[in-house]
Amino acid sequence: MSHTTNTAWQALQTLAATTSNIGELFADGSRSEQFSAAACGIYMDYSKQALDNERLSALIALAKSKNLSHKINELLSGVKVNDTENRAALHTALRLPKGEPLLVDGVDVGGQVHDSLDKCEAIVSRIRAGVWRGYSGKAITDVVNIGVGGSDLGPLMAATALEEWADTDIRVHFVSNMDGTQLDGLLKKLNPQTTLFIISSKSFGTIDTLSNAKTAKAWLLSTGAKEQSLLRRHFIGISTRTDKMSAWGIHPDNQLLLWDWVGGRFSMWSAIGLAIAIRIGMTGFRALLAGAYAMDTHFATADFEHNLPVLLGLIGVWNSTFLGINAHTVLPYDGRLSFFPNYLTQLEMESNGKSVARDGVAVDYDTCPILWGDIGSNAQHAFYQLLHQGTQRVSCDFITPIRRYDNQQHHHDAYLEEQHKLSLANCLAQSQVLAFGNGALGETTQDELNEFKRYRGNQPSTTLLLDSLSPSTLGALIALYEHKVYVMSVLWGINPFDQWGVEVGKVMANSVFDALNDGKAEGFDGSTNALLAKILQAQALQGGV
């Protein structure tokens, strides 16, 4: 049955056409209590969404009509929910507690996961203890994670967010750009004798990653050290392909395995998170996993009315599909979460940026909105002007920890506590003005009639308050958004675990690359041919690339 002929879907279309202004909904004094939920150290206030009890009930009815409970169980139990690639999507298995089995096709996936984690722990311990030595016998001081997409965005985001939990002098760095600029600037600052590279690539065939790895190898070889020693002491590989890692030169002892059922953007919980564990230790990394597992359990057991991922997903579908709000911004009011919006751009848009349903039929409704974001204080001086006075409706997620500084650890930093209060004040104030416009200011002066100073309000937002930002709450927060993505995909009837749209550009790039090497500006469309001719002409006249 088509989504748009679903009775619950049609009911929501009717309700969307008569939705009240957000300000009008607050006539109910108990609204904030009714439209909030909490779990795993996260409190979610969604009272500033354009929802009332009738519309929320209709969304829940839609979820039930799409068998969401059954779909959640399929995800968590290892059913092949990635049907276009005939795979499970078992990232949740990566955070199962030790000793909790999960049998998939007769194989204990949980046991495999913990075998991999144990190998990670052994490697992490050697590096952090100074036992792992470079080719000259000196201990490792710097670790460079070479990856792209999920092999970079997740570890970079989490390592940055949890920097205060770092308990080692070993520095971790992240390289992803294929043009070499990032790596070149970094190598100029590092000592080849004490630098270890992690090559993270699920397929071990991603050109972005392998081009950087090749440059890193050449940099080490320029020292004159023996290649075999360099490869053994300075490279770790993480991939599903042991054959390709071995062919590249990664020693078997330095190979960490992934599984086909781990999507790249869901992989930071696996060995892909090695750089995080090196920086904060395996105890901290396991706390990150435990926080995510707590959210998995909540997702699997809580009723829809109090289920954070389900509610966040329902809200996302309501805004994008039924209210036609096709832009969404994530606004953390905490500098440690600076890379969290970047991480979510991949998680949400690569997962749900689809226009074909699971049955192969093109959809006739809006799916994933365009997502972006920044640290709230920076965003206030950048794009909040559009949020407050532009012509586009934009939904927003505000994220902030309630407690930022521990009084015992920062008793001498009272001014930092004041700064956190200022950040909290801005977070709450911005969501208030976005929802209520000039009414939030209580303005009755002539300025309210000045169109240049008018704030229209009615911009929906959700506020997520973390008890504090820790490995555990960060794990729960990331898992919350992972499951939000899945909920939205179920309601839209799309597969969130493939990414065929990523592949076509890579294939085309190979042909263009060959044309650049052959010096031929032909065989493509008129624009591409002309651009190739311009590039080749300039290179011929000026030399170099």
Average pLDDT on 80-105 reads 93
Say if residues 171 and 142 touch (Cβ distance below 8 Å).
yes
Rounded Cα distance, 178 and 188, in Å: 17
Q: What is the DSSP letter of 360?
A: S
pTM value is 0.95
CA geometry: angle 82, 479, 336, nearest 5 deg: 130
- Answer yes or no: is 64 within a domain: yes
Spell out the long-range contacts of 133-136 with Cβ–Cβ below 8 A and sequence spacing 24 or more: 133/233, 134/192, 134/193, 134/194, 134/195, 134/196, 134/233, 134/234, 135/193, 135/220, 135/223, 135/225, 135/226, 135/229, 135/230, 135/233, 135/234, 136/193, 136/225
Average pLDDT on 457-465 reads 96
Q: DSSP assignment of 20-37, as one string?
A: PPHHHHTTSTTHHHHTEE
| Same domain assignment for residues 175 and 37 | no
For the chain, the average pLDDT equals: 93
| Same domain assignment for residues 513 and 460 | no
**Active site members:** 350, 381, 506
The predicted pLDDT at position 456 comes to 87
Average pLDDT on 422-451 reads 81
CB atoms inside a 10 Å sphere around CB 432: 16
First vs last C-alpha separation in the chain: 55
Residue that finishes a domain, picked among 248, 278, 308: 278
The predicted pLDDT at position 357 comes to 94
| Same domain assignment for residues 238 and 157 | yes
Average pLDDT on 304-328 reads 98
| Same domain assignment for residues 208 and 145 | yes
Q: Give the distance from CA 389 to its chain's centroid.
A: 29
Whether 388 shows a pLDDT value over 80: the answer reads: yes
Categorize the per-residue pLDDT at 406 as very low, low, confident or very high, splitting at 50, 70 and 90.
low
Whether 523 shows a pLDDT value over 70: the answer reads: yes
pLDDT 10s digits, 17-58: 998 899 999 988 889 999 999 999 999 999 999 999 999 999
Q: DSSP assignment of 263-314, as one string?
A: -GGG-TTTGGGHHHHHHHHHHHHHHHHHHHHHHHHHHHHS-GGG-HHHHHHH
- Answer yes or no: is 432 within a domain: yes
The predicted pLDDT at position 444 comes to 52
Categorize the per-residue pLDDT at 454 as very low, low, confident or very high, splitting at 50, 70 and 90.
confident
| Same domain assignment for residues 336 and 457 | yes
- In degrees rounded to 5, what are phi and psi of residue 283? -60, -45
- Answer yes or no: is 1 within a domain: no
Say if residues 308 and 399 touch (Cβ distance below 8 Å).
no
The predicted pLDDT at position 502 comes to 85
Rounded Cα distance, 367 and 355, in Å: 7
Average pLDDT on 173-199 reads 95
| Same domain assignment for residues 342 and 467 | yes
pLDDT 10s digits, 349-371: 999 999 999 999 999 999 999 99
Closest CA to 489 of 306, 325, 295, 358: 358
The predicted pLDDT at position 105 comes to 85
The predicted pLDDT at position 106 comes to 86
Closest CA to 155 of 176, 186, 169, 141: 176
* Element containing residue 153 per DSSP (H, E): helix 150-161
Categorize the per-residue pLDDT at 443 as very low, low, confident or very high, splitting at 50, 70 and 90.
low
Whether 1 shows a pLDDT value over 50: the answer reads: no
| Same domain assignment for residues 166 and 148 | yes
Domain ranges, residue 513: 501-543
- Answer yes or no: is 94 within a domain: no
pLDDT 10s digits, 232-262: 999 999 999 999 999 999 999 999 999 999 9
Residue that finishes a domain, picked among 258, 278, 298: 278
Q: Kindly tell me the burial class for residue 534, based on how many C-beta atoms sit within 10 Å of its own C-beta (0-12, 13-18, 19 or more).
A: exposed
Whether 214 shows a pLDDT value over 60: the answer reads: yes
The predicted pLDDT at position 445 comes to 53
| Same domain assignment for residues 449 and 505 | no
| Same domain assignment for residues 247 and 308 | no
| Same domain assignment for residues 472 and 520 | no
Average pLDDT on 275-299 reads 98
The number of distinct structural domains making up the chain is: 3
The predicted pLDDT at position 545 comes to 65
- Answer yes or no: is 93 within a domain: no
Average pLDDT on 104-112 reads 90
Say if residues 492 and 63 touch (Cβ distance below 8 Å).
no
Average pLDDT on 179-193 reads 94
- Answer yes or no: is 335 within a domain: yes
Categorize the per-residue pLDDT at 4 as very low, low, confident or very high, splitting at 50, 70 and 90.
low
Say if residues 462 and 427 touch (Cβ distance below 8 Å).
no
Average pLDDT on 437-459 reads 74
Rounded Cα distance, 313 and 485, in Å: 7
Whether 410 shows a pLDDT value over 80: the answer reads: no
Enumerate residues 6+ apart whose C-beta is below 8 A from 520: 532
Whether 412 shows a pLDDT value over 80: the answer reads: no
Say if residues 239 and 245 touch (Cβ distance below 8 Å).
yes
Categorize the per-residue pLDDT at 409 as very low, low, confident or very high, splitting at 50, 70 and 90.
low
β-strands 461-468, 395-403 pairing: parallel
CATH code (residue 25): 3.40.50.10490
pLDDT 10s digits, 322-337: 999 999 999 999 999 9
- Answer yes or no: is 336 within a domain: yes
| Same domain assignment for residues 326 and 452 | yes
- Tell me what percent of the chain is helix, strand and coil, each rounded to the nearest 5: 55, 15, 30
Least confident of 22-31, 171-180, 437-446: 437-446
Whether 411 shows a pLDDT value over 60: the answer reads: no
446 or 175, greater pLDDT: 175
- Answer yes or no: is 199 within a domain: yes
| Same domain assignment for residues 270 and 288 | no
Average pLDDT on 302-325 reads 98
